[in-house]
Amino acid sequence: MKRLFIPVISFLIYSSGYSQTLKFVSFSGGSQFSSLSFITDQKIVIKISQDGKVLEWGNENEPGRFYSEPAKLIPYMGRVEYYEKQFDSILNGKVKSIGITSITYYGSLENSVLVGKVKSIGRELFTYFPEFENEAVRGKLKSAGQKSFTYYTSFDNEAYRGKIKSIGENPVTYYSTFDDKAIRGKLKSIGSTYYTWYTSLDRQGYQGVLKSGSQYQMIEGVTYIIF
């Protein structure tokens, strides 16, 4: 029994060293879902776009700078490998691993909306809405690990058409074309957190600026960043 117990523990430690956790979800301009970021056990943040591209990687900023420069990362100086001389040329030049975390991609033989998109980061698998879905959501991220995503379709209000509708269990709402022109399309709520913005009736320089609601909001262990 002793001989079996030690290898099992070793396997669990080895596996946990390659785990990733969804850490940040970012919205730019107070309206656009710009990226989601995973943090590895090496404390490396890997930032992914909603259409499956690796945007950036690095380490978190110090607490003071984190709040003054939202979503900005410190460059990672460790080992980074790239795919090269692959039979499937679509992979060449793409990031293969960052530290001990490997990254795979959908190849050229996959459905056309998937080709070249991130397929996995470590053990986290990524899926996307297929080509037969509504044109406003086609090719966008459907799930990342256990976190699912939905989007408003081309039949929805023009101000939030194609924008993220839910992240996991948290609905995301926006101000519509019926609202003041300075706040149309801007975030109205994420889960139970609400946001208000200065309107076109407010003083010059304030219009469209966040009025209430935190720029950084922790929801179910994920930090939402509005910048």
List, for residues 70-125, the tens digit of each pLDDT value: 678 999 999 999 999 999 999 999 999 999 999 999 999 999 999 999 999 999 99
What is residue 207's DSSP assignment? T
d(CA 138, CA 119): 16
What distance in Å separates the CA atoms of residue 166 and residue 201, rounded to the nearest whole number? 30
Check pLDDT > 90 for residue 155.
Answer: yes
Give me the half-sphere count of Cα atoms (radius 13 Å) on the Cβ side of residue 40: 23
Quote the tokens at residue 126.
């990524």
What is the predicted pLDDT for the residue at 61?
81
- With a cut of 70, say whether residue 217 has pLDDT above it: yes
pLDDT at 182 over 90: yes
Q: What number of other Cβ atoms are within 10 A of residue 4's Cβ? A: 8
Rg (CA), the chain: 20
pTM: 0.86
Residue 164 near residue 148 (C-beta atoms within 8 A): no
Give me the mean pLDDT over the 166-192 stretch.
97
Alpha-carbon span 190 to 80, nearest angstrom: 35
Q: Quick check: helix, strand or coil at residue 134?
A: coil
Which token pair is 132?
């037969």
Task: Please report where in the chains the tokens 């509504």 appear, as a residue.
Answer: 134
The percent helix, strand, coil of the chain (3-state, each to 5) is: 10, 40, 50
